[in-house]
Amino acid sequence: MPKILYTIVKDKIQSLRNNDFQYFIERIYLIYYNSDFTPMKQKRDKGCDGIITKDKTILAVYAPEKRDLPSFKKKVQDDHNKYKHNWATNYPNWQVVYNMSFTASEIQFLDSLKSNTQKISPDNLMEIFNNLKWTEKKDITGYLNIDDIYFQQDALETVIEDLISETSKDSGSIPYGRPIYIMEKIELNYGKDQVEAAKDEHQDSMVYFSTIQNLLADYSDQEQFALKTKIRTDYFALSGIHSAKIDQLAQRYSAKYKSNDIYKAYVKVVLLYYFENCLIGQKTSTEKAAL
């Protein structure tokens, strides 16, 4: 089932028209292709809305207010004529970026102009979006004025999915206590010089805990159990103080997204959620009594 963020971003892209769509394409292509993409000024562009240098590709961006086949044909025909005249010799690839999905008639017409025309629709743009780093995704969602809550939920959901996918599916139940006296628990697990910073970090993370709880509800008891087993086993296999163990786990679980601080931060939020819920860390006397 598509994530909420995916649907919202795609809807936003499809709602962009004319220059707004072109500005967005410039933004996401600059992030994705970096120095291999060169945007073009809209005036005197000679039929080029951007260049993907490494692929020797010229872009033609089209985002009409509504679908109209005659207008589509006229626009891409004009763009293709300019491409052939000004660019085709040095740039053999031509890409049409469209704010709608392509119909069969539109595809046939594009292929009649150039058989290997690259056709980029919102679905293709979402593939680019999904391949961005988390910091880059955040840039795009901010550019599209999408509320941060959807980005946060998507990131947390991805962390949980990744962790569950790595878990084994065997063995019995694990005690799962409710959050009790968390400040006392922090003081019990952190050194005196770490307590205040740990309390602040926990306070910042708490705003995400209800989201995590709701996301976990979508997984089976077996999957949730496997996740708890993995985290608890990995945690107690480590030596050292609690804060070091948390940092090591966050580093290990985010290894697939190297140098991605946002993903790592959300991994740590999930670990702190389970710390609050009695899964890891030294328990308070009240927690022990509740078990």
Q: What is the DSSP string of 130-147?
A: HTS-HHHHHHHHHHTT--
At 53, give phi and psi (nearest 5°): -60, -50
**Segment 221-234 mean pLDDT:** 92
| Alpha-carbon torsion (262, 192, 238, 215), positive or negative | negative
| Alpha-carbon torsion (223, 179, 156, 11), positive or negative | positive
- Average pLDDT of the chain, as a whole number: 89
Residue 175's pLDDT band, with cuts at 50, 70 and 90, is very low
Residue 167's pLDDT band, with cuts at 50, 70 and 90, is low
Place of tokens 């509740």: 290
- Amino acid identity at 188: L
Q: Which of 71-85, 193-207, 256-270 has the lowest mean pLDDT?
A: 256-270
* pLDDT attached to residue 288: 66
At 42, give phi and psi (nearest 5°): -70, -30
Q: Is the pLDDT of residue 113 over 90?
A: yes
- Which residues make beta-bridge pairs with 38? 51
**Segment 42-50 mean pLDDT:** 78
Q: Is the pLDDT of residue 174 over 60?
A: no
Q: Is the pLDDT of residue 4 over 90?
A: no
Burial of 288 (0-12, 13-18, 19+ CB in 10 A): exposed
- Kindly report, residue by residue over 47-93, the tens digit of the pLDDT: 899 999 999 999 999 999 999 999 999 999 999 999 999 999 999 99
CA atoms within 13 A on the CB side of 121: 7
- Kindly report, residue by residue over 129-138, the tens digit of the pLDDT: 999 988 899 9
Q: Is 95 helix (H, G, I), strand (E, B) or coil?
A: strand
Residue 287's pLDDT band, with cuts at 50, 70 and 90, is low
Residue 290's pLDDT band, with cuts at 50, 70 and 90, is low
Please state the length of the chain: 291
- Nearest CA to 143 out of 131, 135, 155, 152 is that of 135
Burial of 124 (0-12, 13-18, 19+ CB in 10 A): middle
pLDDT > 70: what percent of the chain? 91
- Nearest CA to 25 out of 57, 49, 44 is that of 49
Q: Is the pLDDT of residue 179 over 90?
A: no
Report CA 205 to chain centroid distance, whole Å: 19
- Nearest CA to 211 out of 281, 252, 266, 251 is that of 266
Q: Is the pLDDT of residue 177 over 50?
A: no
Q: Is the pLDDT of residue 158 over 70?
A: yes
- Kindly report, residue by residue over 240-250, the tens digit of the pLDDT: 999 999 999 99
* pLDDT attached to residue 45: 61
